[in-house]
């Protein structure tokens, strides 16, 4: 099983670049951000990138991501 890397703010800039780099280095990347349209473009760049809508200012959104990742081997968090 691949190690997971979670990248918040992955829809653009440093977050997107970090997600691509981690995916290229063998991680299963969970790219999270509010802008699903931009995340969809990111996901097209590498099959190791999974996208999730996330608003870090909304506790329900954060809890939903935590539930989704429960039991997964998360090794990296880039926030």
> Does residue 78 sit in helix, strand or coil?
strand
58-78 residues labelled b (16+ CB within 10 A) or e (exposed): eeebeeebeeeeeeeeeeeeb
pLDDT in tens, 20-79: 999 999 999 999 999 999 999 999 999 999 999 999 999 999 999 999 999 999 999 999
**What is the pTM (predicted TM-score) of this model?**
0.92
pLDDT one-digit tens code per residue, 3-36: 999 999 999 999 999 999 999 999 999 999 999 9
In the chain, the domains with their CATH numbers are 4-78 (3.40.50.720)
Task: Dig out the tokens for 52 from the structure.
Answer: 């999730």
- DSSP category for residue 10: T
């Amino acid at each position: 099983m691949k190690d997971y890397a979670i990248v918040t703010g992955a829809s653009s800039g440093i977050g997107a670049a970090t997600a691509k780099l981690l995916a290229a280095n063998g991680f299963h990347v969970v790219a999270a951000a509010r802008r699903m349209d931009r995340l969809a473009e990111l996901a097209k760049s590498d099959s190791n990138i999974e996208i999730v809508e996330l608003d870090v200012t909304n506790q329900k959104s954060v809890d939903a991501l935590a539930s989704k990742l429960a039991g997964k081997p998360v090794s990296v968090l880039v926030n």
